[in-house]
Amino acid sequence: MAQAPSMDYAGSVSSGQKHLGCFRVHTSSRLQCTGYDKKSRTNQLVVRAISVDHPQLDFSNPNWKKQFQEDFGKRFSLPHLRDVIDVEPRPTTFSLKSRTPLENLNGSVQESWNGYVNDDDRVLLKVIKFASPTSAGADCIDPDCSWVEQWVHRAGPRKQIYFEPQYVKAGIVTCGGLCPGLNDVIRQIVVTLEKYGVKNIVGIQHGFRGFFEHHLSEVPLSRHVVQNINLAGGSFLGVSRGGANISDIVDSIQARRLDMLFVLGGNGTHAGANAIHEECRKRKLQVSIVCVPKTIDNDILLMDKTFGFDTAVEAAQRAINSAYIEAHSAFHGIGLVKLMGRSSGFITMHASLSSGQVDICLIPEVPFILDGPNGVLRHLEHLIETKGFALVCVAEGAGQEYLQKSNATDASGNMVLGDIGVHLQQKCVPMHLMPSCAPYWVRMLYMAPLQVSVASQQGCATHTTCTYRYQKSSSPQDLLIQTAGCGIGA
């Protein structure tokens, strides 16, 4: 029997006649709780009941909802220049008015335009009130699945800004790995800044490295320069992982006289940008650090879809279709496709669903068993016996509990994962299937098109996502909020 995901006992929660024994699963951000009735003491269900982000909540306290909402508000509050610098707002230079005057129903011309967003506007994060933890997709805070409102900042253009556009120098940097849509975002930031009247816009080459490598000069950016970069894949400015000392980067920002820095990157990049932001606050610099979350994994909280995700799914589709043709054509063939997804399986799941050909989909969020009567390998046997072939799609972060742990990290500080694809190909499948399928022969085809998806030219959906998100912003503060709370500074 394969080992289950490692767990730590986290305690229990009682509510009425229901009792929940809760355990923390290391591959999850929440507690999983087994519920049983106090009278029968028989296990009935497994639900996500308590967020590990708030282990201090005492549900017996009648004011626990208020405490949760206050903690949530602090967590998603957006820092602003006003927090550390006495700066006066000024009317925005970004106009939302159309060239043709709008008319009222009676034919008169409208004198006011209600196209701006108030700073106090909020958006309700969750709109479903679950009646029970057993409801499909239930994501509960307490055992009774109480309704708790969670509000986040609303994105959109503001009436007031805090910079004089004609004197602003803005910088753009892309860090980490490649992602479809990077050039779209660069282009739309430049176009939007110019709509405000910002003329001095520069690109920092090859990530944070561009701040301390002297041979990497600034790239002047304008609408003319970036007009067609969205037609190519990769990054117009180049990317790199890691970087210099935070103090050195801020020194470089001061020396370059940057007023705004737009940082496009993932988890490691955002951690670095946050440190840059804190150093700027410490020095009381009038500098806005605005982060744009970059990931094809589509795993950013508060965002419906991250740019590049659709293009990655399209690229994954081609690999899946190729593997399907190979597996279907071979005698007792098994196609195995490994896709990107360190801690989330959105690409793998969406590519599998849209292909309609995948028999087994393995993702990090759902633990699975390899051996045993209900294991993955036994199901593969069944597919070979009934269909004559099978197609498996697995995310790179799935099944890590079956692989040897490594303390190695990459340049961005991420843990180096074991190769679940090779494990399934070379160890599990041949050893398990060959004896039971004799005298049949099983052909194993392994494809790992990881870099195909990230280096691809962005598709139509990615173009639309990037263009719509950034063309309607009215200041760095708005771009910050447009990125769903992942931006820093204002």
Condensed to tens digits (0 to 9), the pLDDT of residues 178-188 reads 888 899 999 99
Which CA distances in Å does 74 have to 148, 308, 356, 397? 16, 30, 43, 31
Evaluate if residue 234 carries a pLDDT over 80.
yes
Residue pLDDT, tens place only, 147-176: 999 888 888 888 888 899 999 999 999 998
Q: Is the dihedral of CA 453, 458, 463, 467 positive or negative?
A: positive
Q: Are 28 and 364 in contact (CB under 8 A)?
A: no
Mean pLDDT of 370-394: 90
286, 81 Cβ separation under 8 angstroms: yes
Residue 45 has pLDDT above 60, yes or no: no
Q: Which pLDDT score, from 0 to 100, does residue 392 have?
A: 92
Tens digit of pLDDT for each residue in 84-103?
Answer: 888 888 888 887 665 555 56
Question: How far, in Å, CA of 130 to CA of 138, rounded?
Answer: 6
Could you tell me the two tokens for 53? 């982000």
Cβ neighbours of residue 429 closer than 8 Å, sequence gap 6 or more? 334, 336, 377, 380, 442, 444
What gap in Å lies between CA 289 and CA 488, rounded to an integer?
Answer: 5
Determine which one of 297, 299, 310, 478 is catalytic.
297
Query: In sequence order, which residues have a C-beta less than 8 Å from that of residue 227 and are 6 or more positions away?
Result: 187
**CA-CA distance, 469 to 156, in Å (whole number)?**
9
Q: What is the pTM of this model?
A: 0.73
Task: Specify burial of residue 109 (Cβ count, 10 A radius: 0-12, 13-18, 19+).
Answer: exposed
Rounded-to-integer distance, Cα 180 and Cα 309, Å: 8
Q: What phi and psi values does residue 393 have, to the nearest 5 degrees?
A: -125, 125
- Dihedral (Cα; 243, 249, 252, 258), 10-degree rounding: 110
Q: What is the mean pLDDT of residues 20-42?
A: 38
139 is a catalytic site residue: no
For 416, how many CA atoms within 13 A lie in the half-sphere containing its CB?
Answer: 7
Of residues 357 and 4, more confidently modeled:
357
